[in-house]
Amino acid sequence: MLPHGVSNMRLLIRRNAPALLLAPAFILLAAFFIVPVLRLVGLSFEGSSGAFEHYARIVERPVYLQVLQRTFLTSAATAILCAILGYPVAYRLATASARTRLILLALILIPFWTNLLVLCYGWLIVLNPQGALNTLLTSLGLASVPIPMSGNIVGVLVGMVQTMLPYMVLPVAANMARIDERVLQAARSLGAPPLQVFLRAYLPMTLPGVMAGALLVFIMSIGFFVIPAILGGTRDIFIAQLIEMNINRVMNWGFAASLSTIVLVATLVLYVIGVRWFRLGTVWGQS
């Protein structure tokens, strides 16, 4: 017989086994994520002229508002383009045979296997005024002069869409794969034409996957640094470049923290909106 204290200890460990297993991960998360983020937010309110000194600077100077606007609008445009391009690809991926699905997955995941710097410089070669695309357009007579497609928003969008497209395709395809085909068959049996079946049955059921992919693409696009730095030039900078400049060049950590906090708050607000109004929880199995 085990002593009463040892028996109670074993019972306590057995009852709290899940929490004990999660404890190391939670400690690491708290030490390397939660605490630094809280410190970052606190640093944004430390200023010689008041707690909101850095935020007031952002509001009062139009150049910073332009950077924020450019970042958010470009990220939104990236999400929209990824949704338009990725939806048919996701449908084909969800309905294809096993062999075709493997081939499509390999093609979709190519951006993951390509170094981001290599990808950016590859697009720089293609999109610059003397690049392959402009050479083709001028040789076909579709353009009389080279079209500026690098060093501006166009190049940034091209690079971001290619990089972010898998983040749109995979959640949408996963959502499509869980759709009950009997629902669509019932709609057809009731006389609904194909367009009505798609608009009133299939599209609403796939909307959570689309919104999850769009939210993921938008959030990740906000923090892009390499693609805007290489394909966007030095004039139209994004918020990640502004944060890096204030940390490494200006050494204004408080202002950089305020910019980072704005991105953090925007991310949290978008996530809450997505879960509350667009049923994003259904993508990972929540009812």
Residue 285 has pLDDT above 80, yes or no: no
Residue 20 has pLDDT above 90, yes or no: no
Kindly indicate the confidence band of residue 46, based on its pLDDT and cuts at 50, 70 and 90.
Answer: confident
Same-domain status, 211 and 274: yes
Same-domain status, 37 and 58: no
What does the pLDDT read at residue 138?
A: 86
What are the pLDDT digits (tens) for 54-109?
A: 899 998 889 999 999 999 999 999 999 999 999 999 999 988 888 888 888 888 88
DSSP result, the chain:
---HHHHHHHHHHHHTHHHHHHHHHHHHHIIIIIHHHHHHHHHHT--TT-TTHHHHHHHH-HHHHHHHHHHHHHHHHHHHHHHHHHHHHHHHHHHS-HHHHHHHHHHHTHHHHS-HHHHHHHHHHHHSTTSHHHHHHHHTTS-SS----SSSHHHHHHHHHHHHHHHHHHHHHHHHHTS-HHHHHHHHHTT--HHHHIIIIIHHHHHHHHHHHHHHHHHHHHT--HHHHHHSTTTS--HHHHHHHHHHTS--HHHHHHHHHHHHHHHHHHHHHHHHHS-GGGGGT--
Same-domain status, 198 and 245: yes
Same-domain status, 197 and 262: yes
Q: What is the pTM of this model?
A: 0.84
Query: Does residue 131 fall inside a structural domain?
Result: yes
What are the pLDDT digits (tens) for 251-272?
A: 888 999 999 999 999 888 888 8
Query: Does residue 49 fall inside a structural domain?
Result: no
What does the pLDDT read at residue 1?
A: 47
What does the pLDDT read at residue 208?
A: 83
Query: Does residue 89 fall inside a structural domain?
Result: yes
What does the pLDDT read at residue 251?
A: 85
Give residue 247's domain range: 54-284
What does the pLDDT read at residue 221?
A: 92
Residue 250 has pLDDT above 80, yes or no: yes
